[in-house]
Amino acid sequence: MTNILVTGGAGYIGSHTCMRLAEAGFQPVVFDNLSNGHREAVQWGPLEEGDVRSATDIKRALERWRPAGVIHFAALIEVGLSFDQVSDFYAVNVGGALNVLAAMSDAGVAPFVFSSTCATYGEPQYLPLDESHPQNPINPYGRTKLAVEQALADLTRFGAIRPIILRYFNAAGADPEGRIGERHEPETHALPLAIQTVLGQRPVFSIFGDDYDTRDGTALRDYVHVLDLADAHVLALQRLLDGAPGGEAFNLGTGAGTTVKELIAAVEKASGRALPAKPQPRRQGDAPSLVANNAAAAGTLGWRLRWSLADMAQHAWNWHSKS
Ligand SMILES: NC(=O)c1ccc[n+]([C@@H]2O[C@H](COP(=O)([O-])OP(=O)(O)OC[C@H]3O[C@@H](n4cnc5c(N)ncnc54)[C@H](O)[C@@H]3O)[C@@H](O)[C@H]2O)c1
Ligand SMILES: O=c1ccn([C@@H]2O[C@H](COP(=O)(O)OP(=O)(O)O[C@H]3O[C@H](CO)[C@H](O)[C@H](O)[C@H]3O)[C@@H](O)[C@H]2O)c(=O)[nH]1
């Protein structure tokens, strides 16, 4: 069986991708230090505990499992924390990625799928965002991801690494069968927070800003099902294994925007319960609207969306209400 090393594979998007990799006939080998991941989420292949900040750990994993490619999710992800923990974010997100890439070069492994983000674009100059939109991130998290994208552009020229960069918009939802789901601690994402509120684990859901220039005044985001994201990773990996030279970047979003109020309505419908919500001031660093142009992923990768906002809310509700 072909091994694929999945760094951060015990986390939210990584674990769903491991599920899809196994379904596609690969053996996902998870490389994770479990700092934010969960041992129980590693269900489709072995777990190699290690830290991307350690060149020795990565070298050991590559020597042991001899993967045909690497999918790199391991990172610190909270935008707010990135202002307070700048060194940690650079050490894990940039230093960690460079360690993985150097070890891959030494081991002669070229295919590399990288988790990037719409946060690399910064304030949108136009919508929907395509891949050639200027990249001016407005927070340290986005800048660490852009730094890795820039390193990849340089490394691609030498041919030792063949990368595909995937820029996700807002990952949401869970495995429809409820085996895995979203579990960030602390949780800052809108959909799980809304569900925790419906479940009575939080008194009220804060709507961050109701005075934006959007159809109902609340911020607009492009929520995309985590399993649609997972499918895109398998397609990107397969493209590289088939010999593509790499160097491409793809936006992964649905192309449809959802406001915070519409998200609340979707959670109320999925749960059949009312969600207490209260407007609060805008959250620092939030753009009013972020929506993807996904034509490149559809055209080049053959990416097809399978799940709707109602599915994301339903699957997330199923997961949170049983766990
Ligand atoms: N969640 C989103 O909406 C979103 C949007 C855009 C981009 N991304 C990117 O997708 C990737 C996965 O995000 P997620 O939501 O699944 O996050 P997550 O926190 O659930 O998963 C990240 C995983 O990386 C692991 N990790 C962290 N530091 C590590 C280290 N030093 N060594 C080894 N492993 C380490 C964690 O334990 C965790 O399992 C990240 O790179 C993130 O920046 C996420
Ligand atoms: O309690 C909450 C939480 C969020 N929101 C709003 O809901 C929307 C979505 O917020 P999330 O925190 O769920 O997601 P973000 O759009 O802030 O973040 C996403 O995009 C970021 C880049 O901008 C990072 O990539 C991050 O990992 C990814 O989840 C935003 O308008 C936010 O202001 C609320 O109103 N109340």
Distance (Å, rounded) from C-alpha 33 to C-alpha 114? 18
Q: How remote is the CA of residue 82 from the centroid of ligand 2, in Å?
A: 14
Residue 299 DSSP symbol: I
**Cα(197)–Cα(290) distance, rounded to whole angstroms?**
25
| The two structure tokens encoding residue 285 | 């660093």
pLDDT of residue 147: 98
Nearest to 163 by CA among 58, 77, 242, 69: 69
Both tokens of 275, joined, read 């969600």
Return the bridge partners of 48, or none: 31
| Ligand 1 neighbourhood includes 74 CB (under 6 angstroms) | yes
Determine the pLDDT at residue 96. Answer: 98
Tokens for 311? 């599915």
Name the helix (H) or strand (E) containing 112: strand 111-117
C-beta of 42 in contact with ligand 2 (< 6 A): no
Cα separations in angstroms, 250 against 95, 116, 130, 213, 277: 23, 9, 9, 27, 35
Q: What is the mean pLDDT of residues 83-110?
A: 97
Please choose, from the candidates 58, 312, 308, 45, the residue with its C-alpha nearest in 3D space to the C-alpha of residue 176. Answer: 312
The owner of tokens 């200027």 is: 134
**Domains (ranges, CATH) in the chain?**
2-172+223-252 (3.40.50.720), 190-221+255-291+301-322 (3.90.25.10)
Nearest CA to ligand 1 atom 7: 117
Phi, psi (deg, nearest 5) at residue 18: -60, -40
Ligand closest in space to the Cα of 145: 1
**What is the per-residue pLDDT for 286?**
87
Bridging pattern class, strands 258-259 and 220-221: antiparallel
Residue 212 a catalytic site member = no
Distance 261 CA to ligand 1 centre (A): 27
Candidate list 12, 121, 141, 168, residue with the active-site label: 141
Residue 208: CB within 6 Å of ligand 2?
A: yes
* Segment among 17-21, 115-119, 158-162 with least mean pLDDT: 158-162
Tens digit of each residue's pLDDT (9 = 90 or more) over 170-211: 999 999 999 999 998 889 999 999 999 999 999 999 999 999
